[in-house]
Structure 1
Amino acid sequence: MGKYYYKKADKFSRKKILRLLSLLILFMGIAVVFYIFYPLVSWQIYFAPALASSKIQAPIPKSMVINPSTIGSLISQAGNSLSGVDYTNAKNWFPGFNPATAEQPKIPSYTISIPKLKINSATVSTRDNNLAIHLVNYQNTAIPPDNGTAVIFGHSTLPQLFNPNDYKTIFATAYQLRMGDEIYANVNGVSYKYKIFNISIVEPSDISIFEQDYSNSYLTLVTCTPPGTTWKRLIIKAKLEKI
């Protein structure tokens, strides 16, 4: 009588392993595509309608939504994030801007308050670029209430994570600001009221935001947009009201 042998089935056969690897690669591909195109999707769903309903000077026009330049910008933004660009350093926000070394400002810091966003006495440093621990008054730009334009950088993230006391999320809801809203700068114990008169969105390559206008005292708030991405820059300009 012949002998019969039973071979136990291999639960992890080569075919199953290849199938699992294929699924893993597929999910990774979907994740990468989502990561790259999330800014465009979030812009269209959440932020474009809000900005379009207001008199924003330069929201992203429809002609820019889908074109080779936009796709290239999205891929570049994703590449910068994946490559580990440190966006807690304000100097990395506008790579094409390299200001000359300036004299150390007379005051090391001041504070700003934005009632509409429930931001109260947020510290603005004039001497370093660490956005993780305070806002940054960019070097070689004016300091309130001097004539000129104080360019103030602040972090943003997903609006759901907004915390007015956390400098990594402090400007997450800045897109809610509108013309006529007020910003207060407190310098050496004196409070100065600024009123927003212009809101725009620019590319990280647009360094015109650093230009100085000495006809009055101005504030320019700068943060990334859409919140949670580093795709573009939201620019909010305010002018000093008469003291």
Structure 2
Amino acid sequence: MRYVLMAAALAAAASTTTQAQSDPKATEQWQPVPKVVTPGHTDDAPPSDATVLFDGRNLDPWESSKDHSPARWNVHDGVVTVNKTAGNIQTKEHFRNYQLHLEWRVPKNITGEGQERGNSGVFLVSTGPGDEGYEIQIMDSWKNDTYVNGQAASVYKQAAPLVNAMRPPGEWQTYDILWTAPVFSTDGKLISPAYVTLLHNGIVVQNHTQLAGETLHVGKPSYAPYADAPIKLQAHGDRSPPISFRNIWVRRLD
């Protein structure tokens, strides 16, 4: 009798499997229903669930990275231009996993060469008041030679971009970034590393790139545990004219 019951059970399972393979409804998923997000009126405009970080009017969502005082970069004509003497600025809000859109422009009259040519950066995670964190390089890489893991759209000192998608100085550049934060255990050990995907002017230049830790100017990168953090823009001290930003928004992906 036991063998008869086992045979019957196996036959029933086989029948169910056959039905699932032949019935299209067996593989339909109806719940949970994705929430509705209204796209922006253009591809670069913020969608309905985005947090707008700069809309051309003020820097209310930003603060000084050094002392958390109000951000003192120069807002004019719908853009914000780096104030090098004011230092880095960062978002008041903290983020973890997200989609970030920002646009930046190197002055048409840019001077200098190599790293001294419109140098700045977006720190996807700000872990300190200075240049601590995880940086995507911003600078003029239009016919400007420098080390490839330090040119525009590189993960600074870690990963060169797949291609150079730079437009000439004076034209607006676009970064669209997907950031996957590192995960740490309760005792601070790394469970999974950080990853970044970056489109520069609509072209994939970092494709789910794994980071080895925080970006450093000198030395090898390493991880330090954190929960969430601000996004930071760099006021680099090079001697060339400062760059400008516009249309910055972020979508949480947690």
What TM-score do the two structures reach when normalised by structure 2? 0.30
Higher relative contact order (CA 8 A, sep 6+): 2
- Structure with greater strand percent: 2
